[in-house]
Amino acid sequence: MRQNPVSGSRVVSPSSPAPIGDRVGDDRTHVYVGMSGGVDSSVTAALLKEQGYQVTGIYMKNWAEDLPGFVCPWADDLADAKRVAVQLDIPFKVFDFQKQYKQLVVDYMLAEYQAGRTPNPDVMCNQEIKFNLFLNAALDDGADMIATGHYAKTKDGQLYIAKDTNKDQTYFLYRVTDDALKRTIFPLGELTKTEVRAKATELGLVTAAKKDSQGICFVGKIGIKEFLQNYIKTKPGDIIDQQTSKVIGQHDGAVFYTIGQRHGLEVGGGLPYYVTSKDMAKNIVYVTTDLANDKLWRSDLNLNQLHWINTAPKIGQTYKLRLRHRAKLVDCMVTSLIDDTAILKLTEPERAIAAGQSAVLYDGDLVIGGGILQT
């Protein structure tokens, strides 16, 4: 263990996992709870303490950089997490993962956008930070298990959709390993958001009425374009109507646009335009007013960077597929699985599917896993 020379907080380095406690739900099972300063993680810690676990609250300091016009809320979130820990009378620590977060999440996100793809930083944060670095650091520091305020269920290393399907966060968790899930508790999996708020109010927690965070997961109330512009230079280019091949406007960088996007094009008059494709080499954004345009719809999906939580799906079997958080589940069939690539056939074409997004497979409420969409 070492001291953070800047903040003085305890910083724990990851190491090999420790054995899980032999009893669950009593004070011999030590659970480290990731406390973000929000109501969900606050209630998570409260519920675990009520259930008899030995609980320690952990604030993960992942990002603390202010941007022009936007103040990172980390200090306020840390203060709220500390206040809840005091209310619950539980130990509290800070794990500083800023360096790793910049390398594994932020740099990854920037590189993906610069390549013309649309990544999901929440997925990468869960894979690399919360259920890898945090898990191993917690175990190394004496924890038996970890817990977070995600709306999801886990049992025997398997991941299931939460009771509150509107808040379900399994889409963001599909790259977590079964070993990590065996060491993780999701106390909110059987609760609705309304019930969580009510519990926080009942306990008088200072975060009971705190609004859910908006915008980019690690920055707060800032749009993705505004964030990217702090790291990627604007580069004016043409917006071309795919139907007529005419230049109808200008953009400030193809990197800032994604397939299916409507807002932010600033192409005046008439029907709304939608982004159909991008030429990153020529810095061109192609658009259409035709919602039936073939470029906007896909029924055959190519995936790579596959991750199956327990076992791979079966070729020829029908599964449910989610292409974005809170998007409807659609029917699909796995038609090919070769090495680290898969081909999925959708029963009905879906609109605005962009390379870099995650596609997550479900068998009923069970999360199978998924991969990253390719062009």
pLDDT bracket for residue 269 (50, 70, 90) = confident
* pLDDT score, position 219: 62
Strands 341-351 and 330-338 come out as: antiparallel
pLDDT at 214 over 70: no
pLDDT at 161 over 70: yes
Beta-carbon contacts of 26 under 8 Å, excluding residues fewer than 6 positions away, are: 52, 53
Find the range with the poorest average confidence among 5-19, 82-96, 223-237. Answer: 5-19
pLDDT bracket for residue 3 (50, 70, 90) = very low
pLDDT at 45 over 90: yes
Q: Is 34 helix (H, G, I), strand (E, B) or coil?
A: strand
Determine the straight-line distance between the first and last CA of the chain, rounded to whole angstroms.
44
Q: What distance in Å separates the CA atoms of residue 116 and residue 104, rounded to the nearest whole number?
A: 19
Strands 145-147 and 184-185 come out as: parallel
Task: Report the residue count for the chain.
Answer: 375
- Token pair, residue 260, equals 């299916």
Rounded alpha-carbon distances, angstroms, from residue 148 to 3, 36, 130, 162, 201: 25, 9, 9, 13, 19
Tell me if 129 sits within 8 A of 101, measured CB to CB.
yes
* pLDDT score, position 5: 29
**Residue ranges of E strands in 172-270:** 184-185, 237-241, 247-251
**DSSP code per residue over 242-306:** TTT--EEEEES-GGG--TT--TT----SSSPPEEEEEETTTTEEEEES-TT-GGGEEEEEEEEEE
Q: Which residue has tokens 């259930």?
A: 51
Q: Find, among 37, 35, 36, the residue nearest to 55 by Cα.
A: 35
* pLDDT score, position 213: 77
Q: What is the pLDDT of residues 147-159, one digit of tens each?
A: 999 999 999 999 9
CA 24 to chain centroid, in Å, comes to 28
Q: Which of 85, 125, 309, 332 is catalytic?
A: 125
What is the rounded average pLDDT of the residues 166-172?
Answer: 97
Above pLDDT 90, what percent of the chain? 82
Average pLDDT, rounded, for the chain: 90
Q: What distance in Å separates the CA atoms of residue 160 and residue 362, rounded to the nearest whole number?
A: 9
* pLDDT score, position 304: 97
* pLDDT score, position 25: 57
* pLDDT score, position 375: 78
Q: What is the pTM of this model?
A: 0.90
What is the rounded average pLDDT of the residues 37-53?
Answer: 97
Rounded alpha-carbon distances, angstroms, from residue 368 to 120, 282, 322, 336, 338: 19, 39, 11, 16, 17
* pLDDT score, position 13: 37
* pLDDT score, position 119: 95
Q: Which of 90, 129, 205, 217 is catalytic?
A: 217
pLDDT bracket for residue 217 (50, 70, 90) = low
pLDDT bracket for residue 12 (50, 70, 90) = very low
- For residue 125, indicate whether it is catalytic: yes
Instruction: Give long-range contacts, CB 8 A cutoff, 24+ apart: 311-316.
Output: 311/368, 312/337, 312/368, 312/369, 313/337, 313/342, 313/361, 313/363, 313/368, 313/369
pLDDT bracket for residue 359 (50, 70, 90) = very high
pLDDT bracket for residue 283 (50, 70, 90) = very high
Tell me if 333 sits within 8 A of 295, measured CB to CB.
no
Find the range with the poorest average confidence among 5-19, 25-39, 176-190. Answer: 5-19
Domains and CATH numbers, the chain: 2-203 (3.40.50.620), 233-288 (2.30.30.280), 297-373 (2.40.30.10)
Find the range with the poorest average confidence among 65-79, 151-165, 194-208. Answer: 65-79
pLDDT at 183 over 80: yes
* pLDDT score, position 253: 96
* pLDDT score, position 15: 35
- For residue 217, indicate whether it is catalytic: yes
Q: What is the pLDDT of residues 131-143, one digit of tens each?
A: 999 999 999 999 9
Specify the higher pLDDT residue, 184 or 224: 184
Q: Which residue has tokens 């070492």?
A: 2
pLDDT at 86 over 60: yes
Specify the higher pLDDT residue, 11 or 371: 371
**DSSP code per residue over 98-154:** HHHHIIIIIHHHHHHHHTT----HHHHHIIIIIIIIHHHHHHHTT-SEEE---S-EE
- Amino acid in position 301: L
pLDDT bracket for residue 21 (50, 70, 90) = very low
pLDDT bracket for residue 348 (50, 70, 90) = very high
Q: Which residue has tokens 């899980």?
A: 20
